[in-house]
Amino acid sequence: MLRPVSLVDQWLEILRALPENWADARLRLTIEGDGVVRAAGILAPLNPAPRGSQVRFVARRGGGASPALVQRLLDRIDEERIPGTLELVGAGESAEIDDVEVLRPTLVAGWDAAIASLPPDWSDLYCELELVSSDWLERTALLMAPVNPARFGGTPGFRFRVASRFGYGAAPKMTRRCLERVDEEGIRADVRILRVLSDTHPVATQGPVWYVEGRSV
């Protein structure tokens, strides 16, 4: 039996077929089975539009819904073994790629969209802020200092925790304000929620502990 083609592989094939000066790609993800709600939740940073068994979203070259972000989110859907078919509905072109930078949503907008997709009883988040350029690392670290950002891997960016009510992590309002400060300085980045817990009740602790690559975060 042939193994189903992963969504990441389908996305890479679509990317290879796009014209060199593409500006945006309108995509349709058709989910097999009952994983539509979960897939739409994972794709929340892209402002998806679920309908029936399909989820539509747009990737933008030079925008917040970057090809790299699309690939990472599709990889998460693959990891959860939600089968589906990704199709290109249409694509827009631009004579100057820099012209589409204005399409990049703010970090605050991305954060608000991600929070809106969470269940109402969420309690703890593990988040990631990925910068377009490593040139902004030091300045972003200063602007994000109240959320205790931590470097990870070789990617230019930071990871941090957020707590809705109590425990280990920055308050949601403080996190949003820090992202506003990054936006105000014109620093281009993507923010996403990597992990979420709901309705936790720590007893004699500061909150839950996640283990990533063998260490607690």
The pLDDT of residue 217: 65
CA distances from 150 to 54, 117, 165 (A): 36, 25, 22
Q: What pLDDT, in 10s, does the model give residues 72-101?
A: 899 999 999 999 999 999 988 765 444 444
CA distance 205 to 73: 32
Judge if pTM exceeds 0.75: no
Q: What is the mean pLDDT of residues 27-36?
A: 92
Asked if residue 61 lies in contact with residue 70, where contact means CB atoms within 8 angstroms, the answer is no
What is the mean predicted confidence (pLDDT) over 32-43?
A: 90
Q: What's the distance, Cα to Cα, between the start and end of the chain in Å?
A: 40
Could you read off the pLDDT of 156-211 as tens digits, one per residue?
999 999 998 877 889 999 999 999 999 888 788 999 999 998 876 666 566 666 66
What pLDDT does 183 receive? 86
All structural domains of the chain: 7-100 (3.30.70), 106-200 (3.30.70)
Span 98-153, pLDDT tens digits = 444 444 568 888 898 888 888 888 999 999 999 988 888 999 999 999 999 999 88
List the structure tokens of 124.
Answer: 């703890």
- Residue 26: pLDDT above 90? yes
More confident of the two residues 10 and 64: 10
Lowest-pLDDT choice from 24-28, 40-44, 60-64, 134-138: 60-64
Which structure tokens are listed for 43?
Answer: 């794709």
